[in-house]
Amino acid sequence: MAARPRLTIDIVTLFPSMFTGPFTESLLARAQKEGLLKIRLHSLREWSDDPRHGKVDDRLFGGGAGMLIKAEPVVRAIQALAGKRKRTKPWVVYLSPQGRVLTQSLAKTLVRKKHLIFICGHYEGIDERAMKWIDEEVSIGDYVLTGGELPAMVVTDAMARFVPGVVGDPDSVLNDSFSAGLLDTPHYTRPSVWRGRKVPAVLLSGNHQAIRKWREEKAWEVTRNKKPALVKSRKRN
């Protein structure tokens, strides 16, 4: 009997084929193959209230540019994927520029939900009346994209790193930028001298205590230089 996946994500979108490349390569492909992560893609048109044409959008009441995704297909999709017999209700996320901005901390929190339904908006978004069925809005930044597909890919990738077994060395996740409230330390590999530039001597010393101290100091230095707001926030806490 196959092991139950540690994280299941149902993605509802108008363009399922957009996900083929990102989800069939690298760590995400391996995680799915090994049963650690289950990603299911669904076309919103499956739940259209106009099955003949698969129409899911209409004009805005009150006028205005663009089209709007109707409430009925969105809610039908959520209800169908949530199911009536499941022990726990899936967490429904709407990918929207108005949502909470994705952070390392938020990605870690979302993973704990175990089963998520991602709704990818398009056009001018979705009918406001469908928002009653949405648990959380998530954004990947303060800018507008053509749809929620790219954000869904980014959020999935960020979350997957926290699923045990997806990343070969768990310590690499713990030491990622932002995980400890600081940016990651600089890293080096062979050769030790490249175009006249040397690897810091401490990293070649074999002195693990000195290396750890150097990395901690460098993490603070990099964060102060690149993202000083993180340092201020860490001091307040």
* Confidence category of residue 1, pLDDT binned at 50, 70, 90: very low
Residue 40's contacts (CB-CB under 8 Å, 6 or more residues apart) are 8, 9, 10, 11
> What pLDDT was estimated at residue 83?
86
- Give domain 175-236's CATH superfamily: tRNA(m1g37)methyltransferase, domain 2 (1.10.1270.20)
Q: Among all residues, which ones are annotated catalytic? A: 97, 124, 161, 176
Q: What is the mean pLDDT of residues 21-34?
A: 95
Q: What is the mean pLDDT of residues 51-64?
A: 90
For 5, the enclosing helix (H) or strand (E) is none
Q: Which of 92, 98, 100, 51 is nearest to 74 (CA)?
A: 92
Q: Report the 10 Å Cβ neighbour count for 41.
A: 18
pLDDT digits (tens, 9 = 90+) for 194-226: 999 999 999 999 999 999 999 999 999 999 999
* Confidence category of residue 92, pLDDT binned at 50, 70, 90: very high
State the helix-helix crossing angle for 228-236 and 208-226, rounded to 10 degrees.
110
Indicate if the pLDDT at residue 76 is higher than 90.
yes
> What pLDDT was estimated at residue 105?
92
With a pLDDT cut of 70, the percent of the chain lying above it is: 89
Q: What is the mean pLDDT of residues 54-64?
A: 91
pLDDT digits (tens, 9 = 90+) for 102-123: 999 999 999 999 999 999 998 8
Indicate if the pLDDT at residue 46 is higher than 60.
yes
> Which pTM value belongs to this model?
0.84
DSSP class of 180:
T
User: Greater confidence, 178 or 106?
Assistant: 106
CA–CA dist 151, 122 (Å, integer): 12
User: Greater confidence, 166 or 152?
Assistant: 152
Average pLDDT over the chain, rounded to whole?
90
Domain ranges of the chain: 7-160, 175-236
Q: Which CATH architecture has domain 7-160?
A: 3-Layer(aba) Sandwich (3.40)
